[in-house]
Amino acid sequence: MYPELITLDLPIIGRLTITSFGVMMALAFLAAYQVARSEFGRMGKDPELAADLLLGALIGGIVGAKLYYVFLNWDLTVRDPFGMLFSRAGLVWYGGLIGGSIGVIAMIRRRGEPILPLADGLAPAAALGYAIGRMGCFLVGDDYGRPTDSWVGVAFPEGAPPSTAGNLRDAFGVAVPDSIPDAAVLEVHPTQLYEVGLSLLIFFVLWRLRGTRPVGWVFSLWLVLAGLERFLVEFFRAKDDRFLGALTLAQIFSIAMVGLGFWLMRRRAAGAPEPPARG
């Protein structure tokens, strides 16, 4: 685990820290850009569309993720609104997905293009970018899972937060035996790596199927596979938002993604036309 890669003391600017999470996020968007650019070129679209759409995804994703976090923790926001809005922490994935989707759709409509063909080109890019981004979460020690004594267990002594018994109890509501002291660092499921592996698999499946199915079908399949991936991994996550029995908010959102994906797949397979682009 390497949360900080380089720390530089620069004149005027002061101390600048380059984090592993920041580097992996940059690589995630770069990889997604290259994949989307390649796909748009293959589809006969302007490859430079990729830059506009990923800019919309970046801005919308960050804003959506932060706003969802702020409203999800409204009591903390009321106490410290500026701290909650401008802290480096607190980016909720499904808030980011909603905000990023809005940003991408806005950019597509601005260019007067139809949505579904471009969504097909973005689906493999999204899967690959998500896999790389989750590697950043692993390196910084964030979004890990429940304690485990299996061979896959990984300890995060410098995680965000560290995987101590106390943090697992207090921050995530995990049932850790009282005999284990709060300061003990426990091995947990590396759920970030589970998502890396599954998302890479989704990327290869989508890449193999591109151009072989009706317009919109590949994007619909991404919705289904990404929703199923997150739904399954959530059972291993250390979470404190299991409001519906064993299900988390992310799993409820995942069920909606899967349902929407299957609905779109049926419509596209039946040849339902997409509304024409404006312009």
Who has greater pLDDT, 195 or 55?
195
Q: What is the pLDDT of residue 275?
A: 47
What is the value of pTM for the model shown?
0.84
pLDDT single digits (tens) 101-113: 888 888 888 888 8
Taking residues 242-251, report their average pLDDT: 76
The label of the residue with tokens 């709060």 reads 182
Distance CA(267)–CA(44), nearest Å, equals: 24
pLDDT single digits (tens) 150-179: 999 999 998 888 999 999 998 888 889 989
pLDDT single digits (tens) 177-212: 989 999 999 999 999 999 999 999 999 999 999 888
95-99, 116-120, 181-185: which has the highest mean pLDDT? 181-185
Q: How far apart are the first and last CA of the chain?
A: 50
Distance CA(188)–CA(253), nearest Å, equals: 24
Who has greater pLDDT, 219 or 250?
219
Q: What phi, psi does 278 have (nearest 5°)?
A: -75, 160
Q: What phi, psi does 187 have (nearest 5°)?
A: -80, 140
Percent above pLDDT 90 for the chain: 38
Are the CB atoms for 152 and 165 separated by under 8 Å? no
Two tokens, residue 134: 């989750």
Q: What is the pLDDT of residue 67?
A: 76
Are the CB atoms for 92 and 65 separated by under 8 Å? yes
Alpha helices in 73-161 (DSSP H): 74-79, 81-86, 93-110, 115-140
Q: What is the pLDDT of residue 200?
A: 97
Q: What is the pLDDT of residue 85?
A: 58
Taking residues 104-131, report their average pLDDT: 88
